[in-house]
Amino acid sequence: MPLGGLILSIIPVSAFLALLVLMDSFKLVTLWGVLRSLGVGAVTALVALYANSWLLDHAGVDLHHYRRYVGPVVEEIAKALWIVWLIRARRTGFMVDAAIHGFAVGAGFALVENVVYLRMLHDSSVFLWIVRGFGTAILHGSTTAIFATLAKSLSDRRGTTSLHVFLLPLLLAAVIHSLFNHFVLSPLATTGLLLVVMPLLFIVVFEHSERSTRRWIGSSFDSRMELLELILSGDLHATRIGTYLQSLRDRFPPVVVADMLCYLRIYSELSMRAKAVHIARQAGLRIEIGEDVRANLEELAYLRRSIGRTGRLALAPFLESSAHGLWEMQALRK
């Protein structure tokens, strides 16, 4: 097998994985963690190849139907096991963590599978390498990342890591994999479609999961005033928001957690102040913004930079939409 073929078959999935890691501004998933998930994915591929071979010999299913209906289930279960363990062992604090681990497992799986298949097929055509690299490799990474994201979201919302919360995400991953293996279109057309659909599907799943988490946490308090009172009182243990905030301690350095709570407190105070100013101005009253508000706005800007993109993502369920929040801050600056 030419070295160029192997490189071409792994570049796309490696680039996608690197992009996900770059999204993690606080590097909650360490380089060692990414490499470990890659290694687990590689071992998983060897186990799945052996399992597929054994089942083909003993299950009485022809190769055509096996590739469409049985193989996808076997491979998605094999890849999902590591993610299930990470979530149940509380090694993933946020959905972005789970997504990175999931895609890394899929990338490792695809790497070994490509090596084995390219050696077995003895086909040196660039066409095959493109299909394996841009098609199958992206598929393996994306389906496992989607499984991990949905599983983490459901686990957080339901407050449990029981095995039943993993069934629906696993079914979705297996169905996507099975549809790809039906090859309704030509291999090249299927690869092109996959390059467009899978990233979009992953984004939709991630956004849906984030909105669900926001609704789940938001159901435990009716207003921003309640949120502020909970933060100031420190009595968070019996609430859903408290459970979520407590999990931050396991994922961020203590100084960052302190900055995040300060950011949430100041943001809530300024948000309520902005609403009050808006209502007063509608009533014809002129309220001057004091130096204390300006100082809080400056501190909020500093804390925003301090906690980073991942920190803001973690706090997103507690904050209003970016457009509304921006309007509130602008009202105070004016």
Closest to 104 (Cα-Cα) out of 67, 139, 141: 141
Q: CB count, 10 Å around CB of 269?
A: 17
Dihedral, 106, 112, 114, 120 alpha carbons, nearest 10: -150
- Distance CA(304)–CA(312), nearest Å, equals 7
Confidence at residue 232, expressed as pLDDT on a 0 to 100 scale: 67
In 3D space, the residue among 130, 114, 97 whose CA is nearest the CA of residue 45 turns out to be: 114
pLDDT in tens, the chain (334 residues): 455 556 666 676 677 777 666 655 445 677 788 889 999 999 999 999 999 999 998 888 888 889 899 999 999 999 999 999 999 987 886 777 788 899 889 988 988 887 787 777 665 566 666 666 666 778 888 899 999 989 988 887 787 889 999 999 999 999 999 988 887 666 667 777 777 777 777 677 666 666 665 565 544 444 566 666 666 666 655 566 666 776 777 778 888 888 888 888 888 888 777 767 766 766 777 777 677 777 888 888 899 888 887 788 778 767 654 444 544 555 566 5
Cβ atoms < 10 Å from Cβ of 93 = 21
**Separation of alpha carbons 189 and 194, rounded Å:** 8
The pLDDT of residue 127 is 60
Tokens of 85: 């363990």
What pLDDT was estimated at residue 42?
A: 93
Question: pTM for the whole thing?
Answer: 0.69
The whole-number pLDDT of residue 322 equals 45
Between the alpha carbon of residue 160 and those of residues 122, 145, 183, 299, the distances in Å are 47, 20, 38, 37
**Measured between alpha carbons, how far is 334 from 331 in angstroms, rounded to an integer?**
5
- The three-class DSSP label of residue 172 is helix
Neighbouring CB atoms inside 10 A of 178's CB total: 17
Within 10 angstroms of residue 279's Cβ, the number of other Cβ atoms is: 11
Q: Which among 174, 176, 204 has a CA at the least distance from the CA of 190?
A: 176
- Which CB contacts under 8 angstroms, 24+ apart, belong to 84-91? 84/151, 84/163, 84/166, 87/148, 87/151, 87/152, 87/155, 87/161, 88/161, 90/250
- pLDDT (0 to 100) of residue 325: 52
